[in-house]
Structure 1
């Protein structure tokens, strides 16, 4: 299936959903068993801003072809566990690998960059695409910062293909956005709030790095791609023990010493500390759903000893699982 678009309004996202399926409810479609599983949702963020949210596994390939000529807008993309790849029509072939959508990455594109987004069948996709214009950035940031951000980002993109890996903090925000059914106004308010936090974190982190004269990373582009593959393998399952350093080093085609050094530089923490942070974040997400007993959650993140799970949970979040109140935490987040 091929769907072409060249505009970035909320109405255009609604039309895009109509092309995928006839019965769109609350700007959301639920894939039928013959189509795959999961949902795609259009989110109206107000004042011309919008977002496309998706958590799907499709049974057929879908090609979204972004055409030029529909006005100037920007797409902030937060992609996790993606299959397929993004290929920019006028870019050298080596950029295909950097933008392989099977990696967990954050990137920014604009409407003047023709691109094709290929969603391959059988691949689990979680993505949030926030669409806005320059005027929206000016509502939250001063003009000097906006100009510096856009010019610096795209000048670096032309040279290196600028992407940022998804880390545990991004993953927390993505989880919080995608886990709700969008059939209530308060849920929409919550999702818009979380989307704005995604934008704020991305822009703030990028500008902080840009203000540093020397490059923030001393890792080659090819090595970054390999490290992203390692990260995907590391957090693929929490039920089983994480892969050994030697297994991960083989996946990355680098020595164990180099792997540990470069992984910490890219993601900010050592490999197994990163695994534990993500494992506990997933446990918290399961607790928030309210469908599982504490013992069940422990087993789902690989613990056979409930006291060990409770200790790890408290170390990460400051409270025991039995003291964790998902409802109060959710209300606190909404009040942010």
Structure 2
């Protein structure tokens, strides 16, 4: 893929359809049609430190676009069509956002790039609440106390949010419309998160939750061991069915997914030190087969383990 800076990507074919500015509101409606993209986008600051992006992008030629580094922020993304892919620059980890999926992420200091693949037609909504807004509205700190990333499936996304794409943004009423719609989406997503969290906990009593959390701690401390679900179940004194369901509900991953993610992240840390061979790293994180380790690693980080060692040599 070609690496393209934002200025390079947007320097040809850009047409400002409508622009409106005031002290607490900015709206820019733009169309960009060049060799890489056919993009229609609405960028809005609906009020101080709350931003809405409505994006309709047909990718004509594959390219990678590095995003600006981010301070602490809460980001809500709703994919109405296609698939969006991002790459974490520090870990090489790819994050995929699928059609009819809503993601909520609370992060800081993230360096990311968009991976845009030829032939992809993506429609999505992205709402960003900056650190200043989160600090001014303390109730957010009760919901998001630390790094947070969660996705959930919403099969009726297009019906719920397609109006934002179909509207003609040429009216003086857009300021009221866009602010109200943005707040409506934020409220809807936070309410859905709350409902799903309540459903999770309703199936587990306090002792069950304690035992499932203990299972996670055991995995964290002994990720390199051959830990079967049967053995983990015995260690925390919770039956396997309840342990598997409870773990998925509490941590949004199966035990296998969590353990594999943990092992691969640890492998990345070991490789970056350049103290161990690939074979040694695979054994350190619990893989007995180097081929299986390399396959899982490349599938997760889009590069081979030896590529990380080469970077560390530079």
Give the TM-score range, shorter chain: 0.5 to 0.7
Q: Which residue number in structure 2 is paired with residue 312 of structure 1? A: none
Q: Which residue number in structure 1 is paired with residue 83 of structure 2? A: 83
Q: State the 1:209 CA deviation.
A: 2.8
Which structure has the highest strand share of the two?
A: 2
Q: Counterparts of 1:26-105 in structure 2 under 5 Å?
A: 26=18, 27-32=28-33, 37-68=38-69, 71-83=71-83, 85-91=85-91, 96=94, 99-105=95-101
C-alpha contact 1:81 1:101 (8 A) present in aligned 2: no
Q: Counterparts of 1:115-134 in structure 2 under 5 Å?
A: 115-134=112-131
Specify which of 156, 165, 170 is matched with residue 183 of structure 1: 170
Q: Counterparts of 1:148-163 in structure 2 under 5 Å?
A: 148-151=142-145, 154-155=147-148, 157=149, 162-163=150-151
Q: Counterparts of 1:175-324 in structure 2 under 5 Å?
A: 175-211=162-198, 212-213=200-201, 214=204
Which structure has the highest helix share of the two?
A: 1
Q: Compared with structure 1, are the counterparts of its residues 64 and 189 closer, same or farther at alpha carbon in structure 2 (3 Å cutoff)?
A: farther
TM-score by length of 1: 0.49
Q: Compared with structure 1, are the counterparts of its residues 84 and 135 closer, same or farther at alpha carbon in structure 2 (3 Å cutoff)?
A: closer
CA distance in 2, matches of 1:223, 1:183: 51
Q: State the 1:177 CA deviation.
A: 0.8
Question: Is residue 166 of structure 1 aligned with residue 162 of structure 2?
Answer: no
Q: Compared with structure 1, are the counterparts of its residues 203 and 119 closer, same or farther at alpha carbon in structure 2 (3 Å cutoff)?
A: same
C-alpha contact 2:12 2:32 (8 A) present in aligned 1: no
Extract unaligned runs of 5+ from structure 2: 19-27, 205-245, 258-314
Q: State the 1:147 CA deviation.
A: 1.4
C-alpha contact 1:21 1:29 (8 A) present in aligned 2: no
Q: Which residue number in structure 1 is paired with residue 15 of structure 2? A: 23
Question: Is residue 106 of structure 1 aligned with residue 102 of structure 2?
Answer: yes
CA distance in 1, matches of 2:172, 2:255: 44
Q: Which residue number in structure 2 is paired with residue 296 of structure 1? A: none
Q: State the 1:103 CA deviation.
A: 3.8
Q: State the 1:205 CA deviation.
A: 1.5
Number of matched pairs: 200
Q: State the 1:19 CA deviation.
A: 4.6
Q: Which residue number in structure 2 is paired with residue 260 of structure 1? A: none
CA distance in 1, matches of 2:145, 2:255: 24
Extract unaligned runs of 5+ from structure 1: 6-14, 225-336
Q: Which has the larger radius of gyration?
A: 2
CA distance in 2, matches of 1:135, 1:86: 25
CA distance in 1, matches of 2:13, 2:108: 25
CA distance in 2, matches of 1:202, 1:43: 19
Q: Which residue number in structure 2 is paired with residue 253 of structure 1? A: none
CA distance in 1, matches of 2:97, 2:14: 27
CA distance in 2, matches of 1:66, 1:195: 22
Q: State the 1:163 CA deviation.
A: 1.2
Q: State the 1:175 CA deviation.
A: 0.3
C-alpha contact 1:149 1:203 (8 A) present in aligned 2: no
User: C-alpha deviations, 1:62-112, integer Å up to 9, x for none?
Assistant: 4332343x533332211232335223344585xx3xx32344322233342
